[in-house]
Amino acid sequence: FIITREFELKPGEVFNRNKVQRDLQRVFGLNIFEDIKLSFKPGQDPRKVIVSVDVTERNTGSVAAGAGISSASGLFGTLSYQEQNFGGNNQKLGAEVQLGIREFLFDLSFTDPWIANDPYRTSYTVNAFRRRTISLIFDGGDTEVELPNGDRPRVNRIGSGISFVRPLARNPFVRSEWTASLGLQYQ
């Protein structure tokens, strides 16, 4: 269904090469396929043809790790995971963790780029996070503050959010000039 929902050409319609070309460009634009091939097979009725789309999926997952040192965080390590085709459904899953001497941060997100059965390509993203930063109010200048443990005051944010995005074109197969978004974040 990930491929067929990108096709404007529907079963039973007259084959239109330009329309199919645009359909294939949309499928390739998902960035989850390495190769896409179109083939034709004769149907039972000689006036009809069976159109087959053969795709080769690409590797869509990645893992990254790193380490560093900064005046704000001290020594820290980072590990992240990204999957662009989670469950084979063109959904995106991302996770990042940063662990340091003075902090623990994480960000977890999930995106569905086209909610099932929605005719207008509405997408949603949910995320959960924990971020810790040095308060800019107390960083440098006359108001420099150091805590008894030698650290500086920090702002700790824990929360989650959800956002919805919908293109404002009536036809879901054309690029919309305008989009609407609605989101809520609690922290």
pLDDT at 43: 84
Q: Residue 139 pLDDT more than 80?
A: no
pLDDT band at 18 (very low <50, low <70, confident <90, very high): very high
pLDDT at 138: 67
Calculate mean pLDDT across residues 14-25.
92
Name the average pLDDT for the chain. 90
pLDDT at 73: 74
Q: Encode pLDDT of 25-41 as tens digits.
A: 999 999 999 999 999 99
Q: Encode pLDDT of 79-137 as tens digits.
A: 999 999 999 999 999 999 999 887 889 999 999 999 988 888 999 999 999 998 777 67
Give the pTM.
0.83
Q: Residue 7 pLDDT more than 70?
A: yes
pLDDT at 1: 87
Calculate mean pLDDT across residues 55-79.
91
SS (H, E, C) the chain: CCCHHHCCCCCCCCCCHHHHHHHHHHHHCCCCEEEEEEEEEECCCCCCEEEEEEEEECCCEEEEEEEEEECCCEEEEEEEEEEEEECCCCEEEEEEEEEECCCEEEEEEEEECCCCCCCCCCEEEEEEEEEEEECHHHCCHHHCCCCCCCCCCEEEEEEEEEEEEEECCCCCCCCCCCEEEEEEEEC
pLDDT band at 155 (very low <50, low <70, confident <90, very high): confident
> Mean pLDDT lowest for which of 10-24, 40-54, 111-125, 146-160?
146-160
Residue 55's identity, in one-letter code, is: V
